[in-house]
Amino acid sequence: MKTLYFECKMGAAGDMMMAAMLELHGNPADFLDRLNKAGIPGVVVTAEASVKCGITGTRVKVEINGQEEDCVADRHTHGEHEHTSHGHDAHTHREHEYEHKRNSYNNIEHLIGHLNVSSVVKKNALEVYKLIAEAESHTHGVPVNQIHFHEMGEMDAVADIVGVCMLIEELGPELILASPVNVGGGHVRCAHGILPVPAPATAYILQNVPIYSDNINSELCTPTGAALLKHFVKEFCRLPLITVTNHGYGMGKKDFERANCVRAYLGDTHSVREEITELVCNLDDMTPEEVAFAQQLLFEEGALDVYTTTIGMKKGRIGLSFTCMCRTSDKDKMLALIFKHTTTLGIREYISGRYTLKKEQTEIQTKFGTVKVKTSRGFGVEKSKPEYEDIAKIAREQGMSIQDVVKMIKNKIVDSKDES
């Protein structure tokens, strides 16, 4: 499976992610030319070589009307966020109103919707901006349509977001993963005053994302970087088993003792790894019917698997170990259901890594009708299995045994592979 992996040990920012993926692109000059013709007002995006701690990578520069706006929040200087104040000392009242209108959420939506990019890029860019708008709305306590993107909505941030969305479309990864995100530490100065790192909007966006902070007192993850990761990344995990075909370094502007970069790997993973939760309890006072009811309900609510194991319990009683495997995001829902529908007073939690083969479903035409076939691949293995309900239907209607129907289907699968 074609996989893109972002290593965020020095945080994440839109321009750094774009620069890292630009090194993976087959024709960066052509890409930049198309990005600059996309229709973002006054914006010119360029790339230059940058060296951090002896490592050569790429730094992306966004100039607006010929000037690189280092003071704008999402210029990603990584710690130099002296955010521009939009008070009367910076603009006249009329200019301030113009800036507010230009950078409102509705106007950003309108701008992105009319860019010379694909519909997929527009959709992804708008969804990223929606994450930022919702975070700003929550932080400032105002409706989304009243948000003024004084820290997010400048044209350089639009360029970063659209550039990342374009590159992801053109690189075409089937799966996007990332490491846990280093958010940095200390404080950041913005138009509202001095705020803790991560900034409130960034912290809101990164809910349910594994983050950490080490000894660097700078803002390492910007709201735009956080929103891009939140939108595109399927799982935040350690680098999986991957055959790397290319990798790139996207450099930030500021220097630290460590290389200030986002590293991106492009390669093939032979399986999908995800983190799951196992919820386990012991039962010795439920009827088989009650246990079966609880199992079925958990499956209906999204459990990956639910099973029981016979165990010996106190006082020599025979009991059951009841296990529910679920996605970590579903844990709280599953806990509530288990407590409600079983007699247990306590549940144990285990976090496990789960590897799965890549799955796809196809259909095979037989003289008895269409049969769905599930095929799984990975680790040098390929497995195909017809859908049980389809073969059972044929067996009932034709008076055949399940085994005969399966044999017929397997022959069809082999014939279809030979033809391809």
How much is the pLDDT for 249? 98
Q: Which two tokens stand for residue 387?
A: 């859908």
Which pLDDT tens digit goes with each residue over 32-44?
Answer: 999 999 999 989 9
Q: Provide the pLDDT for residue 89.
A: 36
Query: What is the mean pLDDT of the segment spanning 10-15?
Result: 95
Once rounded to an integer, what is the mean pLDDT over residues 299-315? Answer: 94
Is residue 152 over pLDDT 70? no
Go through 156-191 and write b for each residue having 16 or more CB atoms within 10 A of its CB, e for each that does not: bbbbbbbbbbbbbebbebebbbbbebbbbbeebebe
**b vs e for 388-409, b when ≥16 Cβ sit within 10 Å of the residue's Cβ?**
eebbeebbeeeebeeeebbebb
Q: What is the pLDDT of residue 192?
A: 66
Sketch out the chain's domains with CATH numbers.
Answer: 2-270 (no CATH), 274-356 (3.30.70.1380), 358-419 (3.10.20)
pLDDT at 74 over 50: no
**pLDDT surpasses 50 at 123:** yes
Instruction: Say what the pLDDT of residue 69 is.
Output: 60
Q: Do 187 and 14 touch, CB atoms closer than 8 A?
A: no
**Cβ–Cβ under 8 Å, residues 219 and 78:** yes
Return all residues near 321 (Cβ < 8 A) that are at least 6 apart.
Answer: 280, 281, 282, 283, 308, 309, 310, 311
**Amino acid 68: pLDDT:** 75
Give tens-digit pLDDT for 228-268.
999 999 989 889 889 999 999 999 999 999 999 999 999 98
Q: Which of 58-72, 174-188, 295-309, 350-364 has the lowest mean pLDDT?
A: 58-72
Is the predicted pLDDT of residue 311 greater than 50, yes or no?
yes
For the residues 197-220, what does the mean pLDDT come to? 90
